[in-house]
Chains A and B, each alone.
Chain A
Amino acid sequence: MSSHPHDEWSQSLFRQFKDAGIDLFTYIPDAGNARLAELAEEDNETRLVLLTTEEEGVAMAAGADLVGKKSVLMMQSSGVGNCPNYLSFSKGGRFPCLMMVSMRGDYGEQNPWQYPMGTAVDGIFDAMGVAVFKVDRREDLEGAATAAINAAFRNSQGAALVLTQKFLGAKAF
């Protein structure tokens, strides 16, 4: 058993991603995806890929899709700002791109540097045709994750599962 604060829901979401056929987990480390990343690394059937910048994960999703594989890009909300140009893959090329975003700068944030991008996430995703599925409460998680998975892989588009700070909690500074 892990004592990680996000262990319970991360286990559940990891199982859901795996059941959806996702075997490539790309990420830039963040407190909100740390446990999920551990699970993806520990599992023999999934691969965890450390990126240098978030948009690489959008491109990797496209490369995996071309040979019939599914991936999820896990990042903090600040990383969403690095992705718009590469989201041309999903908006223009109908590539699936599933993202899991752990929010900063939206609710209870104490670091002022997080607010500009945190408040721009919705606008950026809207501009690039990404469907957004927000999770404020634990009981929303499965339904929102299913919706994001379906939008990404059934409709071949950008889809973001957005875990808000109401759900994750705000970090103290």
Chain B
Amino acid sequence: MSHDSTAALSYLQEPKGLKSWLLTVDHKRIGIMYLCAIMFFFFVGGALAVILRTELLRPERILMDADTYNQFFTLHGAIMIFLFIIPSIPAALGNFLLPLMVGAKDVAFPRLNLASWYVYVFGALFCLYSIISGAVDTGWTFYAPYSTTTSTSVISMTLGVFILGFSSIFTGLNFIVTIHKLRMPGMTWFKMPLMVWGLYATAIIQVLATPVLAITLVLLIMERLMGVGIFDPAMGGDPVLFQHFFWFYSHPAVYIMILPGMGIISEVISTFSHRKIFGYKAIAYSSLGIAFVSFLVWGHHMFTSGQSEIAAMIFSFLTFFVGIPSGIKVFNWVTTLYKGSISLETPMIYALMFLFLFMIGGFTGIMLGALALDVHLHDTYFVVAHFHYVMMGGTVMAFLAGIHYWWPKMFGKMYSERWAKVVAVIIFVGFNMTFFTQFILGAKGMPRRYYTYLDQYQPLHGFSSVGAWVLGAGFMIMAVYFIASFWSKRKVGDNPWGALTAEWETSSPPPQHNFLTDPVFKHGPYDYDKIAVVGDYYKQSGGTKMAEKI
């Protein structure tokens, strides 16, 4: 690593040695360790996706038989959901940023934070072990009674997910306490960056919903070990109850995925419009609103499960309420863009992609929440396309916006902007080729999770598969330019984009205890109307300092 013009060594430089990383309680290092772990699983899950799409190129066998296919889509789902997307923004980026953003030296419970990483790795090992010991073929939802009767290693996988739940709870608990108790002097609730609000709402869902998943999986394991019969219709139990239990967690979990992403978008859009965020309080409250409503709508996953019609109507009705806070956010982002001086750097490109793709995902979500339409579209590729638009078009795009935005802060290096923009276009094209096609497939009646299909679907399936290859190629190039950035000779300034949140006030990368002097709240996170900020994209000799007040 290079010598910085500032005197202090960065968190990357001291202390040294592998042990200092493995036993670190520094939230920044734990964030980086999470980042490495989730990127590994993103790669595994992504590779599985490309293999699956390749198999679906033609209706007949290309790479694997039907059983292997079932195991592969289950693994793709379980790895992407539990090992990548749920910890992606909160545990990796959130861990790194939250204390910096609120001006704290660390999260409230640093050792618990480290424990959460090890618990994550431990849980992940169980999930990986299940691959060797008879890969699960239930789908990531583990629906009873199939999951209680299949001969594959459901116990290993569910135990892994059970353990991963603790990791998620630890992170959420840590964040809530940090936000409540460790904000710097002067930072009141409505002066926090919106990313922090997003993480706060996320953390609330994490601590409230995850325990229910835990007990669900315990019951599932007990069902397999002892046949307790709670989810077994042959034993007087209720398999639909399993779905209630599961979705009481997993629907809010969808918002664990999207809420911190929305936080990133709020930051990025304001910074690159150089304009005060429009409707700060509305965005902040709508995060909490989404968190609350997320607990009331889970039954919309179960319209065709045998759930009562009355419950289905209640859940359908409640589902539409999700549109309100989500709409509030989108309108406020768009209004922030209006008359802003927009600069199209890579993070902003991803943020705009998020807006476009998330809206498609959101609107199709409202369609699927409509009871009568869902009965037709349930378990078709339409649903697959919808949740990929929300999770990948929403969360992953937000994650990419975030990683491009904070990469210089995390490592003090800048990736190649030119390549990054090229890749953003490739990903956008590849994504829409893959998944917009699936809306059409679904509307035509192609069921999800099928190994083969009628010949009439082949052209669309083929097009979708080619899109997946484009997408895969885009991510490979991205990996190359990110890794190449470590050898970049050019030093990045402390505040390359000219942003006003607190993390940009410390050096890039930050020193071990985040700030050399105890930070005090000086200006609001979006006071672009009061302060002119000049981004110091590349640090020249000496470098320009940030925030020049007028």
Whether A and B are associated in the same complex: the answer reads no
* Chain B contact residues, CB within 8 Å of chain A: none
Listed in ascending order, the chain A residues whose CB lies under 8 Å from chain B are none
